[in-house]
Copies of this chain bind each other. A is one copy, B any other.
Amino acid sequence: MMQNETTAGRRQRSDGVRTHAAILEAATRLASVTGLEGLTLGRLAAELGVSKSGLYAHFGSKEQLQLETIDAALEIFGREVIAPAEAAPGGLPRLEALLEAYFSYLERWVFPGGCFFASLLAEMDAGRGVVHEKVVATEREWLRHFEGYVEAARRSGALGPDVDVPQLTFELYACMELTNYHWVMFRDPAVLERGRRAVARLLAHART
């Protein structure tokens, strides 16, 4: 499992790992609304009913907490969005499964602040340091992965052999992101419908 420099090589007690996981789970939910920068040890501790220092001992630094929070969110995202897509048959159906899984993930409020990673996108301006680099790397990785789905759909013949895959990926992703922001902001189901329609239209045009 995951090991950081504070817990590495140390004996782990069962209640400790349980608390550790509980902290990260709460951290992902909190950070999805406040952002990673707005994530505060005090508020997190209060929400969990533990002391600030007791919580802090699990990570050794705020930076470490942020890094592990990203990993925890990645795990949730993988379970809620990637996994359903992987379960679908390859090619276009798998891409469509990914898109639908994403909208469903928004609809079910898996994170109380909307998509965790969308929250990070906007606040990573001032960014310096390890956390910023990890966010950028994660975004790159996600784009690469997403592009793989689109490329697979194209190769399967469902998408017309001349489609610009990175371009289409960008446009699909753009519609997903804006759907998230407007969904969080307006909380109007019509936003989700618009988002679903948008990606459907993009795919329809790519099919010719």
Contact = CB atoms under 8 A, between A and B. Distances in A.
Given A38-B37, A175-B174, A181 B123 contact: no
Interface of A: 32-35, 37-38, 113-114, 118-119, 121-126, 136, 139, 166-167, 170-171, 173-175, 177-179, 181, 184-186, 194, 197-198, 201-202, 205
A184 B178 CA distance: 17
A113 B125 CA distance: 6
A37 B34 CA distance: 10
A22 B177 CA distance: 34
Contacts of A197: 167
10 contacts: A34-B125, A35-B123, A37-B38, A119-B122, A119-B125, A124-B184, A167-B194, A170-B178, A170-B194, A174-B179
A185 B38 contact: no
Given A175-B171, A175-B174, A121 B181 contact: yes
B185 A139 contact: yes
Contacts of A33: 125-126
Most interface-central of A37, A126, A174 (chain B CB within 10 A): A174
A181 B32 contact: no
A19 B175 CA distance: 41
A125 B29 CA distance: 12
B114 A125 contact: yes
Given A175-B174, A197-B167, A126 B113 contact: yes
A144 to B, nearest CB: 13
Given A38-B37, A119-B122, A126-B113, A173 B167 contact: no
Contacts of A32: 125
B184 A125 contact: yes
Given A177-B177, A178-B177, A185-B139, A126 B170 contact: no
A202 B122 CA distance: 24
